[in-house]
Structure 1
Amino acid sequence: MFLIKDFKGFTTYEKVLFAAILVAQIAIFLYFWVTDGQADVINIIAGISGVVCVIMSAKGRLSTFLYGLIQAVSYGYISYHNQLFGEVGLQVVFGVFQFIGLYAWIKNMHTDHITDDPAVQEVDSRGLNMMNWVWTILATVIVYVGVGFYLDNFTSAKQPFVDALAVGLSLVGQTLMTLRFKEQWLFWIVINIVSIFLWSRLMFINNEIDAAGISMVAMWIAFLINSVYGYYYWKKLQQVQPDSKY
C-alpha cells in the first residue's frame, strides 16, 4: 500500500531534516501542554499532518494528498477560531484539491530512483514556459485583489490584505502542484514567509503569545525549509524520470 511504501527511499539527509522538523512541532506542543495547559490537540494534528504532507509533496509521493486533507480540516478549524477567514475558505478549496491532485498525479508517476522498488512511486515533474509564467502571475494578481476586496468589505477579518496575499499565492501554488510544475515551490516559499508574518502579527495584534500562534509559526517555518528543499528535489526529478514521457 502506497501509504506505507511512501516512507521508503529517503536519504540520510532527508531523514535528519524531516525528523528535526517533526520533533520541533511535537516539542512546541508538549511545552505549552506541560507549562500552562494551553495546547489543543488540534494544533498538533494540524502541525504534524501539515509537515508530513509537505514532506511527501517534496518527495513527489501520492500520500501527500491524504495528509493534506487532514491538515486542511484541522488548520481550517484553527483559522476560523482566530478569525482568519481567508485561510478558512482556502482550506475548503484545498480539501477539494486533494482529490483533484490525487487523480492528476496517479497517472503520472515513475519508480523512485533511490530504491528502484516498483511499488515506490514518485511524480513526474515539469517546468513552466514563458507564457505559463504570464498567466500564472496574472491569475495571482486577480485572486489577490478579489479576495482582499471581499475580506475587507464583507467580513470581520483582522488582516484582510495580508490574508488575501496568502490566499492568492496558495491557490496558484496548489494549482501548480496539482499540474506537477516544479515552480510551485517558488510560490510556496513566498507563501510560507507571508504566513509566518500573518501568524506572528496576529499574536502582536492580540497582545498574546499562545500555543496556536507559536505552533502555526513553527509549522510555517518548517514548511519554508521544506519548500527550498522541494524545489531542489523536483528539479532533480526532471532529470531522473523517463525521457519518453516528455
Structure 2
Amino acid sequence: MKKTHWFQEQLHYLKEGSKTVFSFKGNVKELGALTTKEYGLLAMMLLATIISSVLSGGLTTTMGIITLICSIATALNLILIDRGFITNYIWGILASVVWLIIAFENRLFGDIASQLYYFVMQFIGIIEWQKSKSQRQSDFVESKAISKTLAAVMIVVTIAVYLFIVYTSYQLGGNQVWLDAALLPLALVAQLLMTYGYKSQWIVWIVINALNVVIWSIQLTQTDSSSTVSMLVLQVVMLINSLYGAYVWYKQAQ
C-alpha cells in the first residue's frame, strides 16, 4: 500500500507540475516575472548565439540551425532556473533532445550520456520542484544547503563514474576522452542537486561549463564548422549564466 501511495503521489505532482510546464499561459507568466537584469542577461545570451550563427554561416546548414535551436532553448532554460521557476523544464527537455543530435555528430560520448541523463531528469525535476512549490506555497523552488555527508558521497561516486567513462570512451574511440569523460559524472551530481533544490549545484555547473568551453575550443581547431562556433559561444554564455545563477541562489538561501 505504501509503494502504491508513493507512486500515486509522484504522478500527482508530475501532473500538477506539467500543467504549468507545458502551459503557454504558465510560460508567459514566469517569463514575465523576470527582472530587468535578467531580461538583459537573456537578451545577451540570445544575441550572442544568433549573431555567432549568422556570422559563421550556421543558418545555411542543417546542423547550424539545430545548434541555434539548442542555444535558444538552453538560454530560456537557464534564465528560468536562475529564478527557480518550474517552466524551465519545457526548455530543458527541448535542449537535451537537440543537444543529443549535436553530440552524436561530434562523437562526444560523454556528452551523449549526459544529455540522455538530463532528458530523464527533466521529468523527475518537474515532480520535485512542484512538490517544493506546493509544500511551501511558493512560486519558486527553495534554495537549500547540502550536508557534508551527502557531499562526500557524491564526490566518491563522481570519481568512480569518471574513471569508468574514461575506460569506456577509449574503447569506443571517443574524442577528448579525459575532458569529455568528466561531463557525465559532473552532470549526474549537478542535475541531482538542481532537482532537489541545492544551491551547491551552481559550483558544479560552473565547472561543467568551464570544461565545455575548453572542449569546444579544442573541437573548433579540429572541425572548423559553423555549428562548432555556435556551440563554443553557447558554452561561454552558459558559464556567465552559471555565475549569475550562483549569485541568485546563494543570496536567496541567506
Bin of the TM-score, shorter chain as denominator length: 0.7 to 0.9
The yes-or-no answer on 1:223 pairing with 2:238 is yes
Q: Deviation of residue 8 (structure 1)?
A: 2.3
TM-score, normalised by the number of residues in structure 2:
0.84
Question: Which residue in 1 is equivalent to 2:60?
Answer: 37
Q: Which residue of 2 aligns with 1:106?
A: 130
Structure 1 CA distance, aligned partners of 2:242 and 2:83?
11
Amino acid at match of 2:245: G
Q: Which moved more, 1:208-217 or 1:48-57?
A: 208-217
Aligned partner of residue 122 in structure 1, secondary structure: coil
Q: CA deviation at 1:100?
A: 0.4
Q: Determine the C-alpha separation between the residues in 1 that align with 2:30 and 2:42.
A: 14
For the 8 Å contact 1:46–1:71, the answer to whether it is kept is yes
Q: Which residue of 1 aligns with 2:162?
A: 144
Shift of 1:4: 1.5
SS at match of 2:86: coil
What's the offset of the Cα at 1:98?
A: 0.3
Percent of aligned pairs with the same amino acid:
30
1:213 — aligned with what? Answer: 228
Give, in whole Å, the separation in 2 of the partners of 1:2 and 1:135. 37
Query: Where do residues 122-137 of structure 1 align in structure 2 (5 Å cutoff)?
Result: 122-137=140-155
Does 2:75 correspond to 1:84?
Answer: no
- Aligned equivalents of 2:53 and 2:178: distance in 1? 29
Amino acid in structure 1 at the alignment position of 2:90: L
Provide structure 2 residue ranges, at least 5 long, that are not aligned to the other structure.
Answer: 1-24
Q: Is the 8 A contact 2:66 2:98 kept in 1?
A: yes
Structure 1 residue aligned with 2:95, among 55, 60, 71?
Answer: 71
Mind listing any 5+ residue stretches in structure 1 that lack a counterpart? 111-117, 240-246
What is the alpha-carbon distance in structure 2 between the residues aligned to residue 8 and residue 132 of structure 1? 36
Whether the aligned pair in 2 keeps the contact of 1:182 and 1:235 (CA below 8 Å) is yes
TM-superposed deviation, 1:33: 3.0
Corresponding residue to 2:181 among 164, 169, 185: 164
Other-structure match for 1:199: 216
> What residue in structure 2 maps to residue 244 of structure 1?
none
Secondary structure of 1:40's counterpart equals helix
Which SS does the other structure have where 1:139 is aligned? helix
State which of 182, 197, 211 in structure 1 corresponds to 2:199: 182
Give, in angstroms, the shift of residue 89 of structure 1.
1.7
Q: Which amino acid aligns with 1:121?
A: D
Check conservation: 2:38, 2:79, Cα contact below 8 A: no
Cα distance in structure 2, aligned partners of 1:47 and 1:90: 17
- Relative to the length of structure 1, the TM-score reads 0.87
